[in-house]
Structure 1
């Protein structure tokens, strides 16, 4: 029940982000709008802990994806986990 509720909240957030920002608005622009120092800090952290290719291979495509896609993917994962736990999700 709790997982399904969380999934519905993330799905609602994805829908609201898509409607409010536009369906093509990138995630990186949304994060930069909220916190301008977050992306450079994350880039320095990933580059220092892992390597520069991790930023290019993982983070850059994610930041170029639409902003509504991140909460939608979390909602799908939570719905999937809740479906595998019948009666407990």
Structure 2
């Protein structure tokens, strides 16, 4: 059973900052968390989403191809009327799912 609280606004802001900065450490510094806390929160988001949201690279992270279409400007965290925010989390099934 998925945690219904995993996608609270704080978690989405954290997701957004990691995506923008490409780094758990940079997002942690900006938001006033430890890198470890960011890593744990991202892991919880990924469990709730049913799969990875970020690709771990040698120097940072980037959004997975599955998540990239769900992001853009304006950020899903910046406006309640954004269609991307209404359709969160991204679908994990159906034709063309990776």
Of Structure 1 and Structure 2, which has the larger fraction of its residues in strand? 2
Q: Which has the higher contact order (CA 8 A, sep 6+)?
A: 1
TM-score (norm 2): 0.26
Greater Rg by CA = 1
